[in-house]
């Protein structure tokens, strides 16, 4: 393993509010805490970062947070010495002066592009391959993934044991939810909703409201809130707002900082999540989930959706697999959710059991931070 003198630079441009910074912040902390390396995290948007980590000083050019040196990546780049390992997150373009600094080092750094998460088969063949060169500095592809032969998923040491203990303690769950102002109604299905704008939401809320089982829907502040307002026929929903319509209770939560998001997912019976970071965290929760994938041009995101679904449902009975797949497809197409949700509920016990077994299967693979460190060890 690398020694404490190994220095890593991770570059992050905030493209979609919180996804990019969510992944890189989580990765940076784990590399420091579990692998003893020095990490400098370069971020171009500290205000978005502040939502995940309120301690961030948005005016500081350089600061330390949880063992990570956080640097503002400003348009006016000031030359610095390049690190031993350089990660460009999600194909962001490094400053030209920094690339020159990489080329000037006596010992060439390991330069990697940490790519987006995908279950597509081609990822296995491309993971770890050389990419472009800058002068004599070679860049490598590094792909997170669900298959062995990829970079794995972000998973901190002991995460699943902490989750198990929390989910086995009703008191711990009550205390956590009370801290968010949530008093879970007895017998209610608890659902978290974190999503992009979605035309299919109204039909889903209609279905939940008319259900024989009560539902308590927790909605952290975010982009889906406008659709919730339209369904409720209210304006200006703020954290703490609570509305009841028939069997459905809708409660707005404050935007949840990163270290509170895991226990929120762990408390819920079902989690609707979006993007990449929350998608992975929902899988570690071991509960049925619904993924709103980030939309891309020419609908290429749908190939990623189908690739994951094919992998996720392969060990499910056919009817249960078709039910959850239909729900995901309808949600990502903004279509009516009623029939798909009712069918999903019909197979609920199978889906609950499968969510836990899928979680354990993925946890048997090397986690992303450890895979990155091992790649560096093999490279040197």
What residues act catalytically?
A: 20, 276
Rounded CA gap, 197 and 66, in Å? 33
SS3 125: helix
Phi-psi label, residue 169: left if phi above 0, alpha if psi -120 to 50, beta otherwise:
beta
Are the CB atoms for 57 and 71 separated by under 8 Å? no
User: Token pair for residue 80?
Assistant: 């610095």
Are the CB atoms for 370 and 159 separated by under 8 Å? no
Phi, psi (rounded to 5 degrees) for 114: -80, 110
Q: Alpha helices, DSSP H only, in the chain? A: 19-35, 46-52, 96-104, 122-126, 159-167, 170-179, 201-209, 225-232, 258-267, 277-284, 301-312, 318-333, 338-346, 348-363, 368-379
User: Token pair for residue 304?
Assistant: 């990623």
Which of the 8 DSSP states describes residue 160?
H
């Amino acid at each position: 393993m690398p020694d404490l003198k190994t220095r890593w630079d991770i570059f992050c441009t905030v493209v979609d509010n919180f996804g990019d910074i969510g992944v890189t912040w989580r990765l940076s902390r784990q590399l420091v805490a579990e692998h003893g390396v020095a990490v400098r995290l370069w971020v171009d948007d500290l205000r978005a970062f502040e939502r995940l980590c309120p301690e961030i000083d948005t005016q500081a050019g350089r600061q330390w947070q949880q063992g990570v040196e956080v640097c503002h990546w400003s348009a006016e780049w000031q030359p610095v010495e390049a690190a031993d390992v350089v990660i460009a997150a999600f194909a962001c373009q490094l400053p030209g002066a920094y690339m020159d600094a990489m080329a000037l080092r006596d010992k060439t750094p390991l330069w990697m592009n940490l790519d987006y998460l995908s279950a597509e088969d081609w990822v296995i063949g491309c993971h770890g391959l050389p990419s472009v060169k800058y002068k004599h500095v070679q860049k490598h592809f590094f792909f997170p993934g669900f298959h062995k032969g990829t970079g794995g998923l972000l998973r901190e040491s002991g995460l699943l044991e902490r989750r198990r203990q929390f989910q086995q303690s009703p008191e711990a769950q009550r205390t956590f939810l009370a801290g968010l102002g949530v008093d879970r109604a007895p017998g209610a299905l608890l659902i978290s909703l974190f999503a992009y704008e979605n035309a299919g939401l109204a039909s889903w809320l209609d279905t939940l409201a008319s259900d024989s089982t009560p539902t308590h829907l927790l909605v952290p502040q975010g982009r889906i809130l406008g659709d919730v307002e339209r369904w409720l026929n209210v304006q200006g929903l703020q954290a703490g707002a609570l509305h009841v319509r028939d069997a459905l209770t809708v409660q707005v939560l404050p935007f949840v900082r990163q270290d509170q998001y895991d226990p929120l997912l762990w408390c819920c019976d079902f989690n609707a999540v979006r993007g990449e970071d929350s998608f992975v965290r929902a899988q570690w929760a071991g509960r049925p989930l619904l993924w709103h994938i980030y939309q891309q041009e020419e609908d290429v995101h749908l190939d990623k959706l189908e690739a994951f679904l094919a992998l996720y449902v392969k060990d499910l009975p056919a009817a249960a697999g078709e039910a959850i797949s239909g729900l995901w497809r309808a949600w990502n197409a903004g279509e009516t959710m009623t029939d798909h949700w009712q069918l999903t509920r019909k197979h609920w016990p199978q889906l609950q059991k499968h969510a836990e077994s899928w979680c354990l299967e993925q946890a048997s693979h090397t986690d992303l931070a450890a895979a990155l460190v091992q790649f560096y060890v093999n490279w040197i």
